[in-house]
Structure 1
Amino acid sequence: MQDEQCRPVKKLSARLPEASLAEAGRELARLRRLTAESAEIGEELSQVVAELRQVAAPPDEPFIFTPVLAENERLLRAIFRDCDDIKYRAFKAGQRQALLVYLNWMTDLTLLEKNVLETLMTPGQGGQVSVDPGALVNQFLTSASLTVTYQASEAIEAVMTGNALLLVDGIAEAFTIGTVKHVKRTVEGAKSEGVVRGPQDAFNETLSDNIVLIRRRTRDPNVKIRVLKLGERTKTAIALVYVANLVKPGLVEEVERRLNLIKVDSVILSTTVEEALSDHPWTPFPQAQVTERPETMVAAVYEGRVGIIVDNTPFSLIVPCTYANLLQSTDDYTARPTVASLIRLTRHASAFLAIYLPALYIAIVSFHPGMLPTTLAISIAELRARTPFPSLLEAVMMEILLEIFQEAIIRLPNKFAGAAGVVGGLVIGTTVVQAALVNPLLVVVIATTAIASYTMPSYHFSMALRSLRVPLLILASVLGLYGVMLGVLAITTHMCSLRSFGESYLGGTLDITLLEDWKDMLVRFPVKFLRARPKELGPQERTRMGGGHG
């Protein structure tokens, strides 16, 4: 016993070499490798299972529905994995098991309970549920919006839209029930197209509301609305609005063809659609009229044009688009014809000033002061003598300051926009002049140019005019009035060469063969004289009153 007690204590690894720390480390590393390999094998098995499930499905479908409810539920749960807002409600429809799948917070649960659960779970009725989908639709489901589908992609899209999906054991089809209910903005006034006397309701971000605003303004069955889906992932709804017996033949088909060419993951803004419809992507001028006013779209489709409403944005598009369309406003038709004509002519003059006024100032002051009255020329020379910079640099500085303040006012919250405008006015109008950095007359010219661009009914057209001022300033500073004339010719030629679905952007305004269209283009005649639709747009029925069914 003593010998055993006195025997020295040895390490475990001395008796069991496999218990050493080094060996334990090697085994741990081996375990980690096995774990990683198991995870990879599990992922590969999941892919194999997914592929096996798709064997019987068409190439564009994730799977096909089967008569076995449990299998359908497993497939749907795999598709909606990690989507915690997808809810599953299992219940007994008589002797059959049923399942409701819906998107929480976007589904009207009251309609779901009343039209589905209460109906199918009522004692005495549920036991009669048939495996025939037609009998189930006609006898038991009381929802007004109900569709039977066998395509899984349609069912998945319906759920993600806010509809409910009903599956019944023994039936290989799914039932989509219209129960969409989600948060949306109410119909409010237009933010970017203010009018004095026109309607005060405007488009919002919900496609169904926008279509209702169109239908409220016309009860014509010839007004057609065709809904498309764009975006490989977002499946954004796009509505084409047109009058079937007025629209130019082939126009709707061409619009639809161009829309189908859009191959992108997401369509979130109408700008994506606008760029796809543009014939000339590099021009600064908009080639689709952007509006958020329903009456503008209704008036456009009755001229033979096509409206495009994009879901999730209040800004809709109208094509074709010409220069004359962009300078028209709802207020032109609420004022007296003489007043409206004068205002419209003022807009045309403002469009010219918004582009060319600073360039004309630079050209005359730098190269042709003799064109000015003597007293004005002397006054300008005295003012120029106090400033250290050449006229071109002064004008560019003012343009940069103006653009900075415009962007600041747009991006700031409404509470700060007014203050920023006051600060901008003081900096541009007072401080810069008192510091003798800029000629006071140039400040007047730049301010006039800015105000002229603000008179444009289309904000996007106003931005196009703003983008052309600096190139013209450079031409004027190099070549004087010759440079300005070159700029005028280049811009006019470019606008005449632009085409919007075959229609000339500016050519119709200058085409003497379209003299009849000038009655509602350059000016606005009284309504009783506007008996024909614009010839330029090629409508099928030109008579606006007293003839045809247009």
Structure 2
Amino acid sequence: MRRMKCPRIRKLSADRPDASIQQAEKELTKLQKMTRQSTVFGEEIEDLVDQLRQVAAPSSEPFIFTSILEENKKLLQSIFKDCGDIEFRNFDAGGKSALLVYLEGMADTSNLERNVIKPLMSQTGPDNPNTGNLSEIFTTMKSISEHILGASSVSVLTKASAAIEAVMMGNALLLIDGLSEGLSISAIKYVKRNIGGANNEHILRGPNEAFNEGLTDNIVLIRRRSRDTNIKVQILKVGERTKNSIALLYAANLVKPGLVEEVERRIKLIDTDKVLASAKIEEFIVDHPWSPFPQVQTTERPDKVLAALYEGRVGLILDGTPATLLVPCTYNVLMQSPDDYTIQPVIASLIRLTRNVTAFIAIYLPAIYVSVVSYHPGMLPTTMAISVAELRARTPFPSFLEAIMMEILLEVFQEAIVRLPQRLSGAATMLGAFMVGTTIVQAGLINPLLVVVVAITAISSYSMPSYTFNLALRWLRIPMLVLASILGLYGVIIGILAVTIHACSLRSFGESYIGGLFDITLLSDWKDGVVRLPSKLLKERPKEFGSKDQTRGGEEDG
């Protein structure tokens, strides 16, 4: 019997060299490259299609609405590409296709269901009394909003940019087949902080409601406190990309002529892509951005804003932040507190005078100490001079270096307390007090008298009603210390003159920052500036703000 030969097993690459692993890897690499190129090519085709759709649109518009609903939907989908939170809701309205576009989480879906979708879908029923008039009602968006929709706030949109902005703000966009316009429906509902107490400007007597991050809520807090129709609100947009809303508030019958227009002009000149905090607005609109002094007053209290409006000033409320800006800003307003108007005038006047003294101490006390100890010890009483000399003999560093070290430690402790979680800030305070008050002094690194001076200086700066003004005082201590270490008391005097001249030269929307204190024509403002007289004697508004009506009494026009 003939034996069958077993076929010889050979490698595939021996018969087919092009089937080797190396060749397969090369082909796979080519395939991957072609896939990437096709993806890029597809994206370029999409961009080209979008550009072709935009040919008929003006340069400021992404596209123009057509009367074909599906085409409008494709245009919007190209704009909202990769936006997973944008919802496109198709439904039937009066026999026509309708589309509702809204931002999930920011639009009230139950409101849209109740006041938009259900009324429009019910128009197709046989029992609907308006069935015979549907062809007339569905000719324009205006007639639809007047005869069918139950929403309280609607507006007809003809521009695509306005429609896109309305959707991103939380409103709903309604489009209907056959109509080349849209309808913006107010249905904003998003998570926000409730109205709470003031965190930074708490007072003992009086209201403690504070602004939150919602622009509408903040305007309501102003309106609730005043029924005056002369309080005007203008809504502007800032930020090329964020397009934040900012409210400009003023009393039309009191504000200085030209002030509102100047504030509006400066806001429109803001050229930036994002505005997330009111501090950025402040940097753009101030006259002297390099000055350490705040040229815009910041507050979170609605009563303080309203009081400023009735003095002829202008308020700026940015959506998304509780910090409200007030302009013009002068030294006088920064030294005033709402508590001044809830206590007896005599006590309030004494407190205001004390604040002015503590402002001086917060800047110049360490510099005066360094200059006297280093250059003019003969100015001290003999007993005190001997005591200071004994304390100085125990420390290895010169007084200037000691003061700089203490200032640095003080700033470090303040930043640590601010940045740490609330439960740990108390421990940081105790640790800082232990290090500065006990350890450093016992180690002989710092003069105990200097610790007392720095502590008094810090407490003096904390007594300022304005936190931004407090920061300015803290910053000015360093150049004053340098001048004192070089020139002694002569350097301190030069520093005082330089700070005074700089403050007098500052202008906040045309108003002198500190010059009003020395202007003889504005002496009447001292009644509610340097001191506070009883309310029945404060019959005039501050002249420094140029209010149209100087009388606080009830005139015919307010």
Task: Determine if the TM-score, normalized by the shorter chain, exceeds 0.5.
Answer: yes
> CA RMSD of the aligned region, Å?
2.0
One-letter code of the match for 2:427?
Answer: A
Alignment of 1:302-381 (within 5 A): 302-381=310-389
Alignment of 1:131-530 (within 5 A): 131-530=139-538
Distance 1:33 1:414, change over 3 A: closer
Q: Give the C-alpha shift of residue 395 in structure 1.
A: 0.9
Distance 1:3 1:370, change over 3 A: same
Q: Distance in 1 between matches of 2:17 and 2:353?
A: 101
> So what's the TM-score if we normalise by structure 2?
0.94
Q: Please, which moves more after superposition, 528-537 or 300-309?
A: 528-537
Distance 1:418 1:11, change over 3 A: closer
Q: Give the C-alpha shift of residue 397 in structure 1.
A: 1.0
Distance 1:3 1:505, change over 3 A: farther
Does 1:54 pair with 2:54? yes
5+ residue gaps in structure 1? none
Q: Give the C-alpha shift of residue 509 in structure 1.
A: 1.5
Q: Distance in 1 between matches of 2:329 and 2:148?
A: 51
Q: Give the C-alpha shift of residue 36 in structure 1.
A: 3.5
1:476-533 CA-to-partner distances (Å, cap 9, x unmatched) read 1111110100000000011111111111111112222211111111111111221111
One-letter code of the match for 1:206?
Answer: G
1:262-321 CA-to-partner distances (Å, cap 9, x unmatched) read 111110010110001111111111110010011111111111111000111110100111
Q: Does the 8 Å contact 1:90/1:98 carry over to 2?
A: yes
Q: Please, which moves more after superposition, 268-277 or 407-416?
A: 407-416
One-letter code of the match for 1:484?
Answer: V
Q: Give the C-alpha shift of residue 549 in structure 1.
A: 2.6
Query: SS state of the match for residue 417, structure 1?
Result: helix
Q: Give the C-alpha shift of residue 433 in structure 1.
A: 1.5
Q: Does the 8 Å contact 1:228/1:237 carry over to 2?
A: yes
Q: Distance in 1 between matches of 2:450 and 2:313?
A: 43
Q: Please, which moves more after superposition, 3-12 or 304-313?
A: 3-12
Q: Distance in 2 between matches of 1:109 and 1:37?
A: 42
Q: Distance in 2 between matches of 1:395 and 1:341?
A: 33
Q: Distance in 2 between matches of 1:460 and 1:261?
A: 24
Q: Distance in 1 between matches of 2:226 and 2:429?
A: 42
Distance 1:375 1:36, change over 3 A: same
One-letter code of the match for 2:481?
Answer: L
Q: Give the C-alpha shift of residue 6 in structure 1.
A: 8.6
Distance 1:345 1:31, change over 3 A: same
Match of 1:114 in 2: 114
Q: Give the C-alpha shift of residue 17 in structure 1.
A: 6.3
Distance 1:425 1:71, change over 3 A: same
One-letter code of the match for 2:282?
Answer: E
One-letter code of the match for 2:341?
Answer: Y
Q: Does the 8 Å contact 1:159/1:165 carry over to 2?
A: yes
Q: Distance in 2 between matches of 1:40 and 1:190?
A: 53
One-letter code of the match for 2:452?
Answer: V
Q: Give the C-alpha shift of residue 333 in structure 1.
A: 0.9
Query: SS state of the match for residue 291, structure 2?
Result: coil
Give the share of equivalent positions with the same residue, in percent: 59
Q: Distance in 2 between matches of 1:538 and 1:157?
A: 38
Q: Give the C-alpha shift of residue 34 in structure 1.
A: 3.4
Query: How many equivalent pairs are there?
Result: 550
1:323-346 CA-to-partner distances (Å, cap 9, x unmatched) read 111001101111111111000001
Q: Give the C-alpha shift of residue 16 in structure 1.
A: 5.9
Q: Give the C-alpha shift of residue 26 in structure 1.
A: 5.2
Does 1:537 pair with 2:530? no
Q: Distance in 2 between matches of 1:376 and 1:451?
A: 24
One-letter code of the match for 1:519?
Answer: K
Q: Distance in 2 between matches of 1:8 and 1:388?
A: 96
Q: Give the C-alpha shift of residue 24 in structure 1.
A: 5.0
Match of 1:104 in 2: 104
Distance 1:383 1:14, change over 3 A: closer
Q: Give the C-alpha shift of residue 441 in structure 1.
A: 1.2
1:421-471 CA-to-partner distances (Å, cap 9, x unmatched) read 122112111222122211111111110000000000000000000001111
Match of 2:84 in 1: 84
Distance 1:22 1:444, change over 3 A: closer
Q: Does the 8 Å contact 2:90/2:100 carry over to 1?
A: yes
Q: Distance in 2 between matches of 1:109 and 1:9?
A: 70
Query: SS state of the match for residue 283, structure 1?
Result: coil
Q: Does the 8 Å contact 1:541/1:548 carry over to 2?
A: no
Q: Does the 8 Å contact 2:250/2:312 carry over to 1?
A: yes
Q: Distance in 2 between matches of 1:514 and 1:21?
A: 93
Query: SS state of the match for residue 121, structure 1?
Result: helix
Q: Distance in 2 between matches of 1:452 and 1:14?
A: 92
Q: Please, which moves more after superposition, 428-437 or 519-528?
A: 428-437
Q: Distance in 2 between matches of 1:5 and 1:32?
A: 44
Distance 1:17 1:418, change over 3 A: closer
Q: Does the 8 Å contact 2:50/2:78 carry over to 1?
A: no
Q: Distance in 2 between matches of 1:210 and 1:331?
A: 22
Q: Distance in 1 between matches of 2:469 and 2:97?
A: 60
Q: Distance in 2 between matches of 1:543 and 1:533?
A: 6
> So what's the TM-score if we normalise by structure 1?
0.96
One-letter code of the match for 2:117?
Answer: L
Q: Distance in 2 between matches of 1:25 and 1:311?
A: 57
One-letter code of the match for 1:356?
Answer: Y
5+ residue gaps in structure 2? none
Q: Distance in 2 between matches of 1:390 and 1:46?
A: 71
Q: Distance in 2 between matches of 1:83 and 1:228?
A: 26
Q: Distance in 2 between matches of 1:167 and 1:41?
A: 32
Q: Distance in 1 between matches of 2:310 and 2:251?
A: 7
Q: Please, which moves more after superposition, 520-529 or 204-213?
A: 520-529
Query: SS state of the match for residue 451, structure 2?
Result: helix
Distance 1:358 1:22, change over 3 A: closer
Query: SS state of the match for residue 248, structure 2?
Result: strand
Q: Distance in 1 between matches of 2:554 and 2:12?
A: 110
Q: Give the C-alpha shift of residue 12 in structure 1.
A: 5.8
Q: Please, which moves more after superposition, 243-252 or 419-428?
A: 419-428
Q: Give the C-alpha shift of residue 131 in structure 1.
A: 2.5
Q: Give the C-alpha shift of residue 400 in structure 1.
A: 0.9
Distance 1:375 1:25, change over 3 A: closer
